[in-house]
Amino acid sequence: MQDTMLNKLDLVIRGGTVVSGQDVVEADIGVADGRIVALAEGLPQARDEIDAKGQIVMPGGVDVHAHIEQVSATGLMTADDWQSATTAAALGGTTTVLAFAAQHRSMRLSEVVADYTRRAAAGAVIDYGFHLMIGNPDPLTLETELPALIDAGHRSVKVFMTYDRLSVSDEHILDVLEIAKRHGALVCVHAENHGMIAWMSRKLLAEGKIAPKYHARAHPRLSELEAVRRVIDLARLVGAPVSIFHVSTREGVAAIRAAVGDGAEVYAETCPQYLFLTADDLDKPGLEGAKWMFSPPPRGHADQAALWQGLRRGDLQILSSDHAPYAYDDSGKLKHGPDATFKEIANGVPGIGARLALAFDAMAHDGPRGLVRFAEVTAANPARIYGMAPAKGVITIGADADLVLWDPDQHRTLTDADVQDRAGYTPYAGCTVRGWPRTVLRRGAVIVRDAVLCARPGSGRMIARQTPGL
């Protein structure tokens, strides 16, 4: 690095333990114009300095699965808007998010994207992008709007294999895979077998089994396995890569591992709710279990172990939040009143703020390998797989200075009272985590100082993504 450049540093983050790619090093980080320009010990004094001694400096979290200010197919709005969701994200150490631009039946995709773009631009405090969610795969969507939007930098597309008002046929999934392949986007899939879920639900309801705990029974583990295998085969027919969202079962992980071993190009994520919760969490008096209702549902301890192993072995590359916040009142979970069946209760849990602290507690206290793996699954891999590298997800020269200073010694017990999003509760209440993000920088600007937000709504930027670097 030339001396002239070193003399122009805007900021030095000094004396931290830096997790940079595969390395964990003691180094200072020099920042100029929002980018990392130096990574070495003993950098010269800059205009601004942040003391990182005793702290672990991680890349800003990249959360590639969040539902923000999104209207569901049944017309229910998530509890968060862009400002509240990204505030919770930032306070939890996440500096980049991919949410959904959700097209429902009869909607025009280009209008949906324009609408979500306008709202995100007004509220976001972190950088963001959209998965194009296809709920109306008509010729205009597929032949005109989708290619144009991918070419404009929206380089991922979401399809559902279940939900009455969202699922698309295998033929349409093949169309989407082919268009995505041609234009350079990645298709992400909610993979559950619709018929199995509908059939199980009908039987349970007929037997009067309506409580939230039956939601888990209504989504048999086989429904994930069947859909995962099917969509991988659809992708193989087209010769396109595919990304499987929120894997919940050990059979799902095994199917993905087997397909990759057989030459398929498959990427996969899991989420904290599958690593830290089980189906027993839904078994609460009255409708209380609704707070733990999401799809696919949480499973058992053997599944948790298989998911952790999948993350370690790289069968699953990504740990996302699937933040889908609905308040526990009549604006959200309780919209259909006290006698609602599990079929009538909105699916989803908040988690955009808790994702990293839960993962840090579980992964980052096992030495350098744990630190590197944490950075990979929460930042580097999602950024690369979704076309945001090299600017996002890693601490390296030239990358955006999206940085989180973690205090590894700060212990916190998660409580409903402390949640920053607008769900008003956390499914992890009572969990104590070791480690908390104290300072968060986005493109070199401090957006969280001593765990307090200091960013202006609308200061987050839309990321024009590249063709996914798979």
Tell me which residues touch Zn ion (CB under 5 A).
190, 322
Number of residues that bind ligand DUC (CB under 6 A): 8
Mask of contacts with ligand DUC, 174-213, x by CB under 6 A? Answer: ----------------x-----------------------
Q: How far apart are CA 234 and CA 244, in angstroms?
A: 13
- What does the radius of gyration of the chain's CA atoms come to, in whole angstroms? 21
Binding status of residue 324 toward ligand DUC by CB under 6 A: yes
Task: Point out the residue whose Cβ comes nearest to ligand DUC.
Answer: 294
Q: Are 86 and 342 in contact (CB under 8 A)?
A: no
86 binds ligand DUC (CB under 6 A): no
CA distance 275 to 111: 37
Say whether residue 384 binds ligand DUC (CB under 6 A).
Answer: no
Q: Which of 132, 18, 60 is nearest to 442 (CA)?
A: 60
Residue 290 C-beta: closest distance to ligand DUC, Å: 12
Residue 291, contacted partner among ligand DUC, Zn ion, none, CB below 5-8 A by kind? none
In the complex, the smallest distance separating the C-beta of residue 254 from ligand DUC, rounded to whole angstroms, is: 22
Q: Does 229 bind ligand DUC (CB under 6 A)?
A: no
Counts for the chain of helices (H) and strands (E), in that order: 15, 17
Nearest one of 205, 317, 197, 199 to 267, comparing CA atoms: 317
Interatomic CA distance for residues 188 and 178, integer angstroms = 13
CB of 243 closer than 8 Å to CB of 269:
yes
Shortest distance, CB of residue 85 to Zn ion, whole angstroms? 13
Sign of the four-CA dihedral 217, 221, 224, 226: negative
The correct pick among 59, 348, 424, 435 for binding ligand DUC (CB under 6 A) is 348
Residue labelled with tokens 């989708």: 146
Look at residue 130 and give the partner it binds from ligand DUC, Zn ion, none, a contact being a CB closer than 5 to 8 Å depending on partner kind.
Answer: none
| H helix or E strand, kind and range, residue 355 | helix 355-363
Helices 221-238 and 170-183: crossing angle in degrees, nearest 10, is 50
Q: Which is nearer to ligand DUC, 99 or 324 (CB)?
A: 324
For residue 236, how many other CB atoms are within 10 A of its CB?
Answer: 17
Provide, rounded to whole angstroms, the least separation between the CB of residue 102 and Zn ion: 10
Q: Does 267 bind ligand DUC (CB under 6 A)?
A: no
Q: Does 70 bind ligand DUC (CB under 6 A)?
A: no
Asked if 322 touches ligand DUC (CB under 6 A), the answer is yes
Identity of the residue, 251 or 322, whose beta carbon is nearer to Zn ion in the bound complex: 322
Least distance from C-beta 356 to Zn ion, angstroms? 18
Q: Which of 228, 243, 114, 111 is nearest to 185 (CA)?
A: 243
Alpha helices in 184-219 (DSSP H): 194-206, 213-218
- Closest to ligand DUC by CB, 190 or 465: 190
Query: Which C-beta is closer to ligand DUC: that of 155 or that of 333?
Result: 333
Give me the phi and psi of 323, to 5 degrees please: -60, 115
Return d(Cα 218, Cα 213) in angstroms, integer: 9
Beta-sheet pairing, 242-244 with 23-32: unpaired
Report the nearest approach of Zn ion to the CB of residue 67 (Å): 6
Instruction: Pick one of 292, 294, 342, 374: the residue that binds ligand DUC (CB under 6 A).
Output: 294
Q: How far is the CB of 67 from ligand DUC (least distance, A)?
A: 5
Told to check if 333 binds ligand DUC by CB under 6 A, we report no
Helix axes 194-206, 221-238, angle to 10 degrees: 160
Q: Does 291 bind ligand DUC (CB under 6 A)?
A: no
- Kindly state whether residue 69 participates in binding ligand DUC, applying the rule CB under 6 A: no
Least CB distance from residue 456 to Zn ion, whole Å?
28
Task: Please report whether residue 295 would count as binding ligand DUC according to CB under 6 A.
Answer: yes
Q: Is 48 helix (H, G, I), strand (E, B) or coil?
A: strand
Q: Which is nearer to ligand DUC, 294 or 406 (CB)?
A: 294
296 vs 435, which CB is nearer to Zn ion? 296
Q: Is 232 in the site for ligand DUC (CB under 6 A)?
A: no
Peptide bond before 382: cis, by omega within 30 degrees of 0? no
**Residue 60 or residue 348: which is nearer to ligand DUC going by CB?**
348
- Distance between CA atoms of 151 and 140, rounded to whole angstroms? 16
**Chain residues that interact with ligand DUC, rule: CB under 6 A:** 67, 190, 294-295, 322, 324, 347-348
